[in-house]
Structures are given as structure tokens and as C-alpha cells.
Chains A and B, each alone.
Chain A
Amino acid sequence: MPVRYKLKEFLFETIIRASGLASIIAVGLIFFFLLKEGTLLFQTQTLGDFLLGKKWYPISEPPGFGILPLILGSLLVTLGAAIISIPLGIACAVYIAEVAPPRIKEILKSGVELLAAIPSVVLGFIGIVTVVPWIKSTFDVPTGLTAFAGSFILAFMAMPTVVSIAEDALHSVPKIYKEGAYALGATQWQTIYRVVLPAAASGIVAAVMLGIGRVVGETMAVMMVTGNSASMPKGIFYPVRTLTATVAAEMGETVQGSDHYFSLFAIGIVLFVITFAVNMTADVFIHRRRK
């Protein structure tokens, strides 16, 4: 091989390797920074008080840095969003992949993509003017700014992820499985739930996990519609506060180097761990599917 080509190849390889390395280093630095600042909180607080404490009073005297209400708030909102978006998303994916005629399929697919393109602040805004008053009047509660409103809006944000990845998984089920089922005298519905869905199962689980990952980390829309009450959540029809919303709302007004400041970083670590775990689970299922 001429030297000229060798040099070119070497250059390309170096550039690609360097950019790969850069992204890993960036992630490492972010995590390191998060860890460094976050752990400073534990000079004055114990981990147990932080994770399981029920009082989040960061600027009172004496302060409380218990994030249990925030964890539960996130959990409640996420769970609600999952309960709404999983069945809806899978049903929608099945319809697009297996049932819809080609034209409707195209329309639906672009619709789902469009949904993904709506900025989260816009969804939050729409939530405030439609979902929140609707919840207040329908369920007869003092305020519509509730965990349920958050779940409802987040379900919409998770849908595009769930639908497109699940649809992809369904679509890649080999055609010969379906033919086999039809040739045995199965109906379309039997073919879908006995053959296509099980064959796509790991891809669908991955879709769900990635949808949930999206929901856990979401901030803006949730902050706008959940009422932001940092007390222990009493139910889905009460205001709550999520981990993400807490960081976003309070970061601007803390004193750098204070316990409050460190505690927000510690919340960041908790979020990082949760999202990482969810995405890893999704990854495991995606790889299982490829096998």
C-alpha cells in the first residue's frame, strides 16, 4: 500500500479514536464533578438522612435535606406516566406495525415523530391550560396541579420513544413466523399476540425502559404542572415535587458552597444512578434481541 494511503488511514483512525475518547472523558469529568460536589454534603449529613429523610427544608433553620418526598414524587409521576404510556404505546406500535393500511401507517408514524418534536416547555404550557383545569373539575380536587397532571403530560413525552422503538421491534419480527401462524389457521389477532408480540418482547421491554428513562430525567414540563410541593406525597391527586424539578427550581438561588448547594448535586447523583440503571436495563434487552 502506498505511503500516502497509509498516512491517510492513520490520520482517520487517530481522529476517530480521539473523538471516541473525548466523549468518554466528557462523561467521566461530568460524573467526577457531580461526585466531588455532591459528596461534600455528607460532611454534615448522613446518607441515610439524605435518602430517607422526610423533610426537605433546605433553607430553614435548622435545615432538612431529606429527599424521600422528592424520590417518591418522581416515582409517583413516573409510575403514572408508565401506566398510561406503556399500554397505549404498545397498542399504537402494534397498530402501526401490523394492522394499519400503508397510508395511515405513514401518517401515524409522522404524527408520532411530530409529538417527539414538541418542546417540553410547550407541552407543559398546554398542560397548564388544558389538563390541569380538566383534572380540577373532573376529579373535584382543590388544585389540578398534581402528580397525575405530571404523569399525563409525561406519558405524552414517553409515547414517541415507546412507540417508535416498539414498532421497530415488531417490524423486525421475521415474516416467516407470521406466515407460519397464518398457515396454521391463526387469525390476525392470534398471530399478533401469540407470535409477533412474544418474538418482539425484548425489543418492547427496551422501548418501555427507554421511555421511562426519558420520563425520569424530564424537568420543565413536570415543574410546570405538578404543583411543586416538597412535602411527602399523599396520592396522585395531590401536588408533588420531583427530583429534577427541585434541582431546576433551587439551583439559581443557592449560595455556592453551602449545604443546600451540595445537596442539589447529591440529587444529581441520585438521578444519574437511576437513569443509568434504567438505560442499562434497556441495553441488556436490546442486546438480547439482537442475539
Chain B
Amino acid sequence: MSSPVIQTEGLSLFYGDFQALRNVNFTVMEKRITAIIGPSGCGKSTLLRVFNRMNDLVEGVQVSGKVLLDGQDIYAPETDLLALRKKVGMVFQRPNPFPISVYENILFGLRIHHLADKRRGELDRIVEESLKSVLLWDDLKDRLANIATNLSLERQQKLCVARLLVMRPEVLLMDEPCSALDPMATARVEELMQELKKNYTIVIVTHNMQQAARVSDDTGYMYLGELVEFGPTQKIFTTPRDKRTEEYITGRAG
């Protein structure tokens, strides 16, 4: 059995007066894929954005309760926000490589964290390694100088993963990473996720229940800001305890 990497205790979140998360107790286990499912607007993205504190960018957000990463409360005042985001990487719904070269996209993280003052050969090696680990090296090795925003969406999304890997993160957060991709590309990104699971802990938000069933080890079902049910994916999809979960999974709600 692996150990918990992220744990929330009594987590609530308000956008101004609106409560988007209600007393959420959520656990993410090491080197597993944890899926968050639920109807639109139930707070999936909000919960995901708690883990790297991207919610901090929203005006008027109030967070209460505890969010532990490796046992440390990430909302504690002494938390180093930039180091947290280096440790907990995020992939977005719409692929968002920067409009610069593939090469510089990959090194972006190292440059901003001042870890790139290495020799050119060393940087080349880092770029190659990270592209290999997202299965893009053969496609892109001759196009490292190309502008990344001209790539296909699938490659852009994989590049966004590669861009995280150079920083040696612990956790990868993925917010509907395949919703902009066609079924073939989706299948290949799911394959990549299984590959990444060997070294990283992954949390994925998805609208697609089949996807959650296919890729994840644990699943949480959210409804109106509440974490209704959480457990091994197998169990959630075959023998849900809560009626609301059952209704959603069998397609009678959401």
C-alpha cells in the first residue's frame, strides 16, 4: 500500500459569498491516478486548483480547513508558493504551451527557478529526456526550434506535460487534459498517463466517466461542492454506496 501525498481535512472554499467546496476530505495516494468526477460546476476544477494554490489568483477567495502535501500544510503562512507550484505541476484543459520554441518551452521551468545555468549540452540532454518521457522525442527532435503553438493539439498537450517533468515534480494535476483532443489522441495521452504513473502521483479531473474508469485507481465523486463518495475506482463504478453517485454513474443525473 502506498502512502498519502495529498490530504485535505475539512476543506471549504468560498468565492466571495459563494461556497464552492464544502467540508471536503480527500486523499491522494502516492504513484496512483486519482480521478475527480461530477457534473459541471460541482467544484472539480476548484478542488484541483487548491492543490497548487492557483485559486490564490482569484480575487476574494477564502479557504478554510487543512490541505496537507507530504504532511505539510500548504496554506500555512510560511509556505513557499513558488516551490509548491514547482512540486505540484498542472496541465490545463486547453493546451497552453507558450508561443516560443519547443526547446525553450521545456526549459521554461528551469529558467524561472534559476536551475538552467548549465552547459548547453546538459540542457540539450534535459530536453531530450523530457520529450522522451512524454513519447514526443521521435516526432519533435528535428523541430525543437519550431514555435510550440503551431504543433497539433495532442503534441501541445504532451509538451505541456514535458514542460512540468523537467522540474521533477511530485504531483501532476490534470484538468480535463483530453477534452480538446480527438479519441485517438485521447487514447495516446491516457497511455502516457499510465507510463507517468510509475514516477509521479496524478490527479485528473474528467467529465468523461469512461475515462475515469479506464485510467484511474481511485475516484472521487463530487456534487454541489461536496465530495459525496471516494474510494477505489473499481468499487465506485460497480458498487457505489451513495445513491447520488449511483445515479450519476448510471446516467440518471448530471
Q: Is the A/B pair a real complex?
A: yes
Decide if A180 touches B99 in the complex (CB within 8 Å).
no
Given A183-B54, A184-B89, A185-B86, A177:B98 Cβ within 8 A: yes
Q: In whole Å, how far is B61's beta carbon from the nearest beta carbon of chain A?
A: 14
CA of A199 to CA of B148 in the docked complex: distance in angstroms?
12
Nearest B residue to A101 via CB reads: B59
Among A69-77, A82-90, A186-194, the stretch in contact with B: A186-194
A31 proximal to B (CB < 8 A): no
Q: In whole Å, how far is B108's beta carbon from the nearest beta carbon of chain A?
A: 6
Decide if A180 touches B85 in the complex (CB within 8 Å).
no
- A residues near B112, Cβ cutoff 8 Å: 181, 184-187, 190, 194
CA of A174 to CA of B112 in the docked complex: distance in angstroms?
20
Decide if A185 touches B100 in the complex (CB within 8 Å).
no
Nearest A residue to B57 via CB reads: A182
Decide if A179 touches B96 in the complex (CB within 8 Å).
yes
Nearest B residue to A180 via CB reads: B96
- B residues near A177, Cβ cutoff 8 Å: 96, 98-99
Q: State which residues 193-247 of A face B: CB under 8 Å.
A: 194-195, 198-199
Among B8-16, B123-131, B159-167, B238-246, the stretch in contact with A: B159-167
Given A176-B92, A176-B94, A179-B92, A184:B99 Cβ within 8 A: no
**Chain B contact patch, size range:** 20 to 34
Q: In whole Å, how far is A88's beta carbon from the nearest beta carbon of chain B?
A: 26
Interface residue count on the A side (C-beta < 8 Å) = 17
Decide if B98 touches A183 in the complex (CB within 8 Å).
no
Nearest B residue to A188 via CB reads: B57
Instruction: Pick the contact of B167: A181, A184, A195, A199 (CB < 8 A).
Output: A184
- B residues near A176, Cβ cutoff 8 Å: 92, 94, 96
Q: State which residues 53-79 of B face A: CB under 8 Å.
A: 54, 57
Instruction: Pick the contact of B86: A174, A180, A184 (CB < 8 A).
Output: A184
B27 proximal to A (CB < 8 A): no
- A residues near B160, Cβ cutoff 8 Å: 180
Given A176-B92, A176-B94, A199-B98, A184:B54 Cβ within 8 A: no
Q: In whole Å, how far is B253's beta carbon from the nearest beta carbon of chain A?
A: 31
Given A180-B92, A194-B112, A185:B98 Cβ within 8 A: no
B90 proximal to A (CB < 8 A): yes
Instruction: Pick the contact of B109: A174, A184, A187, A195 (CB < 8 A).
Output: A184
- B residues near A174, Cβ cutoff 8 Å: 96
B52 proximal to A (CB < 8 A): yes
CA of A190 to CA of B111 in the docked complex: distance in angstroms?
10
**Can you list 23 A-B pairs with a CB-CB distance of less than 8 A?**
A174-B96, A177-B96, A177-B99, A179-B57, A179-B92, A179-B96, A180-B96, A180-B97, A181-B108, A183-B54, A184-B85, A184-B89, A184-B108, A184-B112, A184-B163, A184-B167, A185-B82, A185-B83, A185-B85, A185-B112, A187-B112, A198-B100, A199-B98
Report which B residues bind A (CB closer than 8 A): 52, 54, 57, 81-86, 89-90, 92, 94, 96-100, 108-109, 111-113, 160, 163-164, 167
> What are the 5 closest A-B residue pairs judged by CB atoms, nearest first?
A185-B85, A176-B96, A183-B90, A185-B82, A180-B96
Report which A residues bind B (CB closer than 8 A): 174, 176-177, 179-187, 190, 194-195, 198-199
17 extra interface residue pairs, beta carbon distance < 8 Å, beyond A177-B99, A179-B96, A181-B108? A180-B92, A180-B96, A180-B160, A182-B85, A183-B85, A183-B90, A183-B92, A184-B86, A184-B89, A185-B81, A185-B113, A185-B167, A186-B112, A194-B98, A195-B98, A198-B99, A199-B98
